[in-house]
Amino acid sequence: MSMFAHFKQDSADWWRRFWNQPNKAYRNFQLVFFLLAAHFIIPSISYALNWQSAIWLLDHLGRILGASRPYRLAEASYVWRVLAVANVFSLGFMCLILMANVRRFYPVLLPLCVLKGCAALGFLVVYIWRYRFPAFLAVSIWDTANVLMFLYFAHTARWSLEEWSEEVLVPRLRLKQQ
């Protein structure tokens, strides 16, 4: 069997074991947190390389949601761009560390929720009191949904570990304390 065929077979076996594992809460947590991590890490890299794409997406979302004018505020500060990239990348990293071992790194859930919750609140405050651009309200709602997903999926996965042996987990808990 060629190396590629062996890898393909191992991959298919892993996915089958992952999807059919008895601990569905853990499986669902892994899926959701993987998607959330990608949702943060990929845009953070995009912002670092092409910050105008973030402004274009915000303007485009606003227009889809019925904005009567384009988003025209200046976003040319390197300070805020660097902070945005660092914060969004940190969100993705926190998702990955929780995926590695939700039992050990469960306390990471608190700063994850605080960082994203503050963003949700910030966009809502801007929308209500400063700039009625519909994309700000949409982002606030989406960020709030992210916080609820963090809480629900991490919490149910952590508590599911009380019922199921670690041997049935796919992937297994990593970065264990010695």
Other beta carbons within 10 angstroms of residue 58's beta carbon come to 19
The upper half-sphere exposure of residue 84, i.e. CA atoms within 13 Å in the direction of its Cβ, equals 20
Asked whether residue 51 carries a pLDDT value surpassing 80, the answer given is yes
Q: What pLDDT sits at residue 80?
A: 87
Residues 126-134: contacts with CB under 8 Å, at least 24 apart: 131/73, 133/58, 133/62, 133/67, 133/71, 134/61, 134/62, 134/65, 134/66, 134/67
Cβ neighbors of 80 (< 8 A, separation 6 or more) are: none
Q: How confident is the model at residue 12 (pLDDT cuts 50, 70, 90)?
A: confident
Q: Per the omega criterion (within 30 degrees of 0), is the bond before 171 cis?
A: yes
Mean pLDDT value across residues 84-107: 97
Mean pLDDT value across residues 106-125: 98
In 3D space, the residue among 154, 153, 135 whose CA is nearest the CA of residue 143 turns out to be 135
| Of the candidate ranges 30-44, 64-78, 103-117, 123-137, the one whose mean pLDDT is the lowest | 64-78
In 3D space, the residue among 123, 96, 127 whose CA is nearest the CA of residue 112 turns out to be 96
Q: What pLDDT sits at residue 3?
A: 62
In 3D space, the residue among 102, 89, 85, 80 whose CA is nearest the CA of residue 154 turns out to be 102
Handedness of CA 157, 163, 169, 174 (dihedral sign): positive
Radius of gyration over alpha carbons of the chain, in Å?
Answer: 20
In 3D space, the residue among 158, 39, 36, 24 whose CA is nearest the CA of residue 104 turns out to be 158
